[in-house]
Protein backbone atom coordinates (compact mmCIF):
# COMPACT_ATOMS: atom_id res chain seq x y z
CA UNK A 1 0.00 0.00 0.00
CA UNK A 2 2.93 2.31 0.52
CA UNK A 3 5.69 2.96 2.98
CA UNK A 4 7.67 5.53 4.88
CA UNK A 5 10.55 5.65 7.27
CA UNK A 6 9.93 6.90 10.78
CA UNK A 7 12.65 8.05 13.13
CA UNK A 8 12.91 6.49 16.54
CA UNK A 9 15.13 4.30 18.64
CA UNK A 10 15.41 1.94 15.69
CA UNK A 11 14.74 3.23 12.22
CA UNK A 12 12.46 0.92 10.28
CA UNK A 13 10.15 1.00 7.30
CA UNK A 14 6.44 1.49 8.04
CA UNK A 15 3.78 0.47 5.53
CA UNK A 16 0.14 1.52 5.14
CA UNK A 17 -2.32 -1.27 5.97
CA UNK A 18 -5.54 0.76 6.14
CA UNK A 19 -7.11 4.11 5.35
CA UNK A 20 -9.69 5.72 7.64
CA UNK A 21 -12.15 8.55 7.13
CA UNK A 22 -11.96 9.75 10.73
CA UNK A 23 -9.91 9.56 13.90
CA UNK A 24 -12.37 7.21 15.64
CA UNK A 25 -12.27 4.72 12.75
CA UNK A 26 -8.45 4.91 12.71
CA UNK A 27 -8.29 4.23 16.46
CA UNK A 28 -10.61 1.21 16.12
CA UNK A 29 -8.39 -0.23 13.38
CA UNK A 30 -5.28 0.51 15.45
CA UNK A 31 -6.87 -1.12 18.50
CA UNK A 32 -7.45 -4.36 16.61
CA UNK A 33 -3.79 -4.40 15.61
CA UNK A 34 -2.50 -3.47 19.06
CA UNK A 35 -4.42 -6.37 20.64
CA UNK A 36 -2.31 -8.64 18.42
CA UNK A 37 0.86 -6.90 19.69
CA UNK A 38 1.44 -5.19 16.34
CA UNK A 39 2.98 -1.71 16.66
CA UNK A 40 0.80 0.94 15.01
CA UNK A 41 1.33 4.50 13.81
CA UNK A 42 -1.64 6.68 12.80
CA UNK A 43 -0.84 9.52 10.40
CA UNK A 44 -2.84 12.46 9.09
CA UNK A 45 -1.50 15.60 7.45
CA UNK A 46 -1.28 18.18 10.23
CA UNK A 47 -3.14 20.86 8.26
CA UNK A 48 -6.03 18.42 7.75
CA UNK A 49 -6.19 17.78 11.48
CA UNK A 50 -6.06 21.49 12.34
CA UNK A 51 -8.81 22.34 9.86
CA UNK A 52 -10.90 19.31 10.89
CA UNK A 53 -10.93 17.89 7.36
CA UNK A 54 -12.19 14.37 6.88
CA UNK A 55 -12.24 14.21 3.07
CA UNK A 56 -9.63 14.42 0.36
CA UNK A 57 -5.90 13.95 0.64
CA UNK A 58 -5.57 16.31 3.63
CA UNK A 59 -8.33 14.58 5.56
CA UNK A 60 -7.26 11.01 4.85
CA UNK A 61 -5.88 9.13 7.84
CA UNK A 62 -3.46 6.26 7.25
CA UNK A 63 -2.78 3.39 9.62
CA UNK A 64 0.76 2.07 9.35
CA UNK A 65 2.66 -0.88 10.80
CA UNK A 66 6.32 -1.93 10.57
CA UNK A 67 6.94 -3.69 7.25
CA UNK A 68 7.78 -6.95 9.03
CA UNK A 69 4.18 -7.04 10.41
CA UNK A 70 2.41 -6.16 7.15
CA UNK A 71 1.15 -9.65 6.24
CA UNK A 72 -0.06 -10.38 9.78
CA UNK A 73 -1.82 -7.00 10.00
CA UNK A 74 -3.55 -7.34 6.64
CA UNK A 75 -4.68 -10.85 7.53
CA UNK A 76 -6.07 -9.66 10.87
CA UNK A 77 -7.90 -6.73 9.29
CA UNK A 78 -9.39 -9.06 6.68
CA UNK A 79 -11.05 -11.21 9.38
CA UNK A 80 -14.77 -10.59 9.88
CA UNK A 81 -15.90 -8.55 12.88
CA UNK A 82 -19.20 -8.56 14.71
CA UNK A 83 -20.37 -5.80 12.36
CA UNK A 84 -19.83 -8.16 9.41
CA UNK A 85 -22.00 -10.94 10.84
CA UNK A 86 -25.73 -11.19 10.12
CA UNK A 87 -27.98 -10.31 13.05
CA UNK A 88 -29.19 -13.20 15.15
CA UNK A 89 -32.87 -13.42 15.82
CA UNK A 90 -34.20 -15.18 18.90
CA UNK A 91 -37.59 -16.71 18.35
CA UNK A 92 -39.72 -17.22 15.26
CA UNK A 93 -39.42 -15.07 12.18
CA UNK A 94 -42.48 -12.90 11.63
CA UNK A 95 -43.39 -12.00 8.07
CA UNK A 96 -45.36 -8.79 7.56
Domains of the chain: residue spans and CATH: 3-79 (3.30.70)
CA–CA dist 24, 77 (Å, integer)? 16
With 70 as the cut, is the pLDDT of residue 19 above it?
yes
User: Once rounded to an integer, what is the mean pLDDT over residues 88-96?
Assistant: 68
pLDDT in tens, 23-80: 889 999 999 999 999 999 998 876 555 555 555 555 688 999 999 999 999 999 988 7
Evaluate the CA torsion angle 16, 37, 75, 56 in order and state its sign: negative
Amino acid sequence: MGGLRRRGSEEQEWVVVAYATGQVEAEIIAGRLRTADIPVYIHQESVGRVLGLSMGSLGMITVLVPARHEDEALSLLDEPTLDDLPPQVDGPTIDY
